[in-house]
Structure 1
Amino acid sequence: MSVQLYAPRPHQAVLHRRLQRFNVLVAHRRFGKTVFCINELIAKAAANPKKDARYGYVAPLLSQAKDIAWDYLKRFTAPIPGITVSESELWVELPNGARIRLYGADNADRLRGLYFDGIVLDEYAQMSPRVWPEIIRPMLADRQGWALFIGTPLGRNHFCTLYEQAKADPSWFAASLPASQTGILPEPEIAAARRAMSPETFAQEFECSFAAGVPGAYYARLIETAEHEGRLGRVPWEPRLPVVTAWDLGIGDATAIWFAQALGPEVRIIDYYEASGAALAHYAKQLADRPYVYGEHLLPHDVSVRELSSGTSRLETLRGFGLKVRVLGAQPVAEGIEAARNLIPRCWIDSERCARGLDALRLYRPDFDAKRQAFSQRPLHDWTSHAADAFRYLALGLRRPLHPVGEIDQTSLYSPFTW
């Protein structure tokens, strides 16, 4: 591995000087995001007088962090005398005791209990939206650590929301860095990329556009249409209708639950809940703490499988909590996706209570086969899968009509919502 000294590009040098405690940078492809971030970490770590300073670089996957950033971290710290390198744990310790380590957001719960003086979240658009508020932010509190979010847009998801919030908050620094303004890429190269890519993809990858759709996303355009038609907003709970829930049950990962009400063709998506690492009793309590009158709880077919340790199935456990559970039959994933596509045009979705679920639906997409340079027939399994699978079960379960609670005037339920 060659030794290399960092010489920031003009735009990078300006950014290094302007960074505040919390920062969001939207940058085009080939901007040099990783080199910029690694050297920001090294500079801050080297200047920290604390003996136990800790810094982190987080990528969507640990394998990505290793492939993208590990060589850079070693290369740019190599000129520093007395450094220590751990190849197995992916950290470098400077002579002052400050340590910089690489992590993956695919197993973000493993970060709990750590602390950071500073952290970089690279390609935050591809991470679960719970990583920052629930896991990373608390780790900065006692050290008053800083955070830098950086990446390229991936539709109007939580990264877009964070960027818009940062722009409006004077305590944050936010910047958008499109290729047409940075001057990093030669104009012939930009022109060649424009010719080779669709206008939407070019706008996203090189002009930092959040408006461009996510390539291959199953539901993104349907969600966009719902937003344009005014079907995303504040959707009130109707006490005279039963609330049906649809679950995707995780064991080692997240459990996702959608809350819906249906009458005739209209479906109100009034709530969404997701958590990780919790027992079934936790989710039963979440349901009980809400004021809803429940109808059925829709669960996938594997809920009936008995656990080897207890000999009890999750179905039996949930029924023991008094839940009226309906187990769906096994269906091809493609059939469930089509059912979800047919359901979304009938939905009114609460954009606040369901924000995390909506982010997942917008980004849910097929896996990409790099060898064939084509989308796979299988959905990509990442943080979006839990919400998308639960929504798929909701769509399949709602094929059977649900009955309202008591006798009601059905026409009154079609009055306009108050947004």
Structure 2
Amino acid sequence: MNPTITMTAAAFVLACPSFSHAAPPTEAEIKEKTAAAMTYYRAQGRDFSLDDPGFHAVLDAQLMGVDPGECDMETIGAMQMLWAYSPNAKPLWMARIEEAGAGPEWLDASLMLASMGENDKALAIATPHGFGEVPDDRLGEVIQAMSSLSEEQLIPMQGELVLLVDRMPDGDASTFMTGWPSYPELLGKAMVEADRRRVIHARLVEAMKEGMAKSEALAKTAPESEVENHQRAAGRMKSTLAFLDGPAGRGELIGYPAPKVDLLWNSEGADWNCFNCLKGKVVVLDFWATWCGPCVGSFPQVRELVEYYDGYDVVVLGLTSEQGSVIFRDDRGKVDAEDFAGECAMMADYAKAMDVTWPVAFTKQDVFNTDFGIKGIPHVAIIAPDGKVAYNNLHPADPLADKVEKINGLLEKAGLKHPPSVKEKAATEKSAT
């Protein structure tokens, strides 16, 4: 263990306040606690990892004296950055969320569980209530959360999902922004018949255009203090409509040929200009940027995946787009690029400094690639050897066992060799000792 990191963590632990009272922390206290954790994160630079025991110690110190049982879902959500990354605290807080799911906060509890990949637990809470108990103004949140469900989980809800089209918002552009842009993709995963999906897609696009028109009209008549908000909502809607015109927005991504992505440069110097050059392999696409903390924080997990599939027909490819600068995790900090060639040179240096053991590529398309439905990074998609998208909207820090199960399944289906599962590998290593 790095002694400098250990000493830094100890300093933060000793400096942090301890709350012995049972009352939940105030908004100001939560901000103070979160700031302490972020200060530690920034201090580690390139050495930071979500698995860092020092980071866990800082998080645990900030949570000391806070009773999850006294916190409502709003407070739990505000403190998520602290407890979600602490191996010691997470089980306690997750249990509290499940407990809240048995009461009036069931919707918030199920949505938070879904956001953390606990889909089975989220469904167990939400299913008895059904869509009928979800207020119309929160239906978009539910649709957004359901995007991470599997086909097997969605197909039984096919009929109910189709009926949601009659509950679309009829307000301005802002009322559509949460969840509704993913509605067609959700119907695709639920295996709703293609013609019906196209009809619903057309209705959604028309309703959104009307919402955009309302926002544009409000921008002309609203008080000066509200004009910018309406203009911003209309602008976001234009981007959303462009997204809906792409594969993910039409619900034609999973199981379809991967959208075209132009590769302008890669750190390997390989002769790649598109995904066709990699056909016949499983390609794991990790959309990221140097300014993205969670992206950089997941590097150890990406490195672990690369090592696991060394010698197999699997390529992990980090995709980003021109940002105009590179944010180094050392004394250099943010360095602006004079031009694209300069940014490429800095990226090569960055990859070496950060021990990036997989190829990184710049794409012509923005890192928030609308064809893949990317609304935030990091974002992982997996392309099967036949060139079709098999998985989308994954996280690079997802458990290794889950990623291996998905990738091994694709390799086996293509008749390609694959390593043992994580469980099998652990059993073999245990028997060998």
- TM-score when normalising by structure 1: 0.35
- Structure ranking higher in helix proportion: 2
- TM-score when normalising by structure 2: 0.34
Higher relative contact order by CA 8 Å / sep ≥ 6: 1 or 2? Answer: 1
- Structure ranking higher in strand proportion: 1
